[in-house]
Every structure is written in C-alpha cells, then in structure tokens.
Amino acid sequence: MFENLSVKTDFKNQIETAFKCGRLSHALIFEGSSEETRFKTALELAKAVLCKSELKPCGVCSSCLKAESGNHPDIHIISKAADSSMIKIDAVREIRNKALLLPNESTKSVFIIFEAQLMNANAQNALLKIFEEPQSHVLFILTCPSKASLLETVISRATSYSIGEEVASEKNEKTELIREKANALLNCYISSNELSFMKMTAEFQKDKQLFLEVLKEMLPVIRDGIVFQSGSKELLSDFPETAKALASALTAKKSIELYKELSALADEAERSANHNLTLTRLSSKLYDIKNR
Ligand SMILES: [Zn+2]
C-alpha cells in the first residue's frame, strides 16, 4: 500500500498492520503532507478496503478500476461546495443518510472528508452525531493539514495519523495570504468608510478559520501603531507603514481601545459556533472607536 506516495514509513506500517489485522478504526484522520498527497493516500486506503483481490489494493480488479476513475459507488468524497470555500452542513447531513444504507457492491462504504478543516463547528458537530452511531459497514477518512483545526470532540472519536510534515510552501502561501488580507483591511479602516470595510470582510462569512487568523494578524500591526505613538521606532510587525498610518489616524487612546476591541472580538469568534455574529459586529465596533 502507498507505494508511489511519499508518506512516512511509520504511517505506512501502522495503517498496513491495522488494516491486515482488521483493526482499522471506523474514523481516521490523516494530517500533514500536501493536499494532493492527503487525497491520494485516503483514496489508496479506500481502494485497499474495497479491493476484491488477495493483495490489496491490486489496482486491476473492477473495484480498484472504478476507484481509480472516480466512479466507485461505495466511495463517497465530501469536499467544499463549488460556490463556497467551506464544506457545507447539508453535505455532512447527507453523509448520515448515506451511511445508514448498506454499501452498493462492497462490504464497506468509505466516506472521504477531504480537507475536513473546511467544516465549521456546526458541520463538525453534525458529523459527531454520525460518529456516535457507528455502522460496522462504514469507514470515515478525514484529511486535513493539521488536526488542530478540528474540534477536540471530533479528534477524540477518531484515530489520527500523521502522513508527513505539513508542506512548507503550502503553509507559506497561506500565511502570506492572511498577512496581506490583514494589511488590506487595516488600510481600508484607516482610509475608507464602514461600508467599504464591510464589503471587504464579507468573504469571511464562509471561512471562520480565515477570519480568525486575519483578526489575529491585525493585532501586531495595531500594537506597532501604539509603540510608534509612544515615540519608539522598534516596530516588530511586517507592515510598519500601516502601523505608522494608524498612529496618525487615531489618538493613542483610540489605538489602545482598537487593540482591546479586536482582541476581544478574536476571542469571541474563536469560542462561538456562529462567527458571523462577531463578523457583523466587527465593522460597527471598530468604526465606533474611529468616529467617536
Ligand atoms: Zn483490487
């Protein structure tokens, strides 16, 4: 298994042993490596589980061929919706209906939840309900860059495996995107009105994780603004120009209020299942400070 995939030897051994002894847990989390490797690894295991030959996965039986071509009736791939950056709760609810049915032509139904971190808390809770009534014919494989992005309750009901190190380039690209968005939002806050700011934040409705990370990335820039106002030149954030612009747009008192308000909103968004409530308050709270 996993012959042509660059996965950790540890991972390969653990999965193969569990598979051969029939001790695979009914819910697996594959974390680390690249998005592509995570997907191929999950599919490879699904193939092995459904393969009709002795040496699994054989790659040539009808089941393996269907899996290869993406047409296996007992492999269900759940991923983000075409019109959204998230896995929708409806897609998760649909799993429940499908999981109750017996497989079409195999002994198992395999559900691959591709990039499970794209489920918001509600969707993950819906998945938990399915985990709580395990059907012996069902196997769930969740993939994600890091299981830290999943709810503790989901992690505790599954067996986690690290495929490999999270790929650095993917990480860096994401970090870069978050930093740019944080900087753009702060510049919009300084120079523009509440409506433009709200328009910019609309994309976060569908992506709590992105929202949280952007909020957290704004904080060091605001902190630098406060430092600059106090006369220090020791700016630590990546956007000193934005920090200086903030420092001239707001009084020192307002800068501190802005920092406190944004920290509180970030905490609130993190704890709440519905981050959109926080999102709708974000612009009004921040502009209250600016316009006071
Ligand atoms: Zn086969």
Span 197-247, pLDDT tens digits: 999 999 899 888 899 999 999 999 999 999 999 998 888 888 999 999 999
Span 161-190, pLDDT tens digits: 999 876 666 667 778 889 999 999 999 999
Quickly count: other Cβ atoms within 10 Å of residue 175's Cβ.
12
Which amino acid would we find at residue 223?
R
Residue with tokens 């939002």: 185
Looking at domain 9-166, its CATH superfamily turns out to be P-loop containing nucleotide triphosphate hydrolases (3.40.50.300)
Q: What number is the average pLDDT over the span 74-86? A: 89
- Structure token digits, residue 97: 């209906």
Quickly count: other Cβ atoms within 10 Å of residue 156's Cβ.
10
Out of 52-61, 126-135, 172-181, the most confident range is 52-61
When the candidates are 3.30.565, 1.10.150, 1.20.120, 1.20.272, the CATH number that belongs to 170-291 is 1.20.272
Ligand 1: distance of its center to the CA of 179 in Å? Answer: 46
Q: How far is CA 104 from CA 50, 56, 97, 108, 257, in A?
A: 11, 19, 14, 9, 60
Ligand 1: distance of its center to the CA of 3 in Å? Answer: 15
| pTM to 2 decimal places | 0.62
* Angle value at C-alpha 274, between 271 and 280, nearest 5 degrees: 105
With beta carbons less than 8 A apart as the criterion, state whether 217 and 179 touch: yes
How confident is residue 252, by pLDDT bands cut at 50, 70 and 90?
very high
Ligand 1: distance of its center to the CA of 91 in Å? Answer: 28
Report percent pLDDT > 70 for the chain: 98
Which pLDDT score is estimated for 170?
A: 67
Ligand 1: distance of its center to the CA of 49 in Å? Answer: 9
Ligand 1: distance of its center to the CA of 71 in Å? Answer: 14
Domain boundaries, the chain: 9-166, 170-291
With beta carbons less than 8 A apart as the criterion, state whether 169 and 37 touch: no
- Structure token digits, residue 229: 């106002």
Burial class (CB in 10 A: 0-12, 13-18, 19+), 68: middle
Which pLDDT score is estimated for 169?
A: 66
Which pLDDT score is estimated for 168?
A: 65
Ligand 1: distance of its center to the CA of 19 in Å? Answer: 15
Nearest to 279 by CA among 214, 221, 183: 214
With beta carbons less than 8 A apart as the criterion, state whether 25 and 142 touch: no
Q: How far apart are CA 126 and CA 123, in angstroms?
A: 5
Whether the predicted pLDDT of 16 surpasses 90: yes
Ligand 1: distance of its center to the CA of 24 in Å? Answer: 19
Report percent pLDDT > 90 for the chain: 76
Q: How far apart are CA 97 and CA 28, in angstroms?
A: 20
Distance, first Cα to last Cα, the chain: 64
- Structure token digits, residue 62: 């009808």
The larger pLDDT score, comparing residue 128 to residue 81, is at: 128
Write out the H or E segment, with its range, that includes residue 191: helix 168-191
Which pLDDT score is estimated for 50?
A: 97
Which pLDDT score is estimated for 41?
A: 96
The larger pLDDT score, comparing residue 66 to residue 84, is at: 66
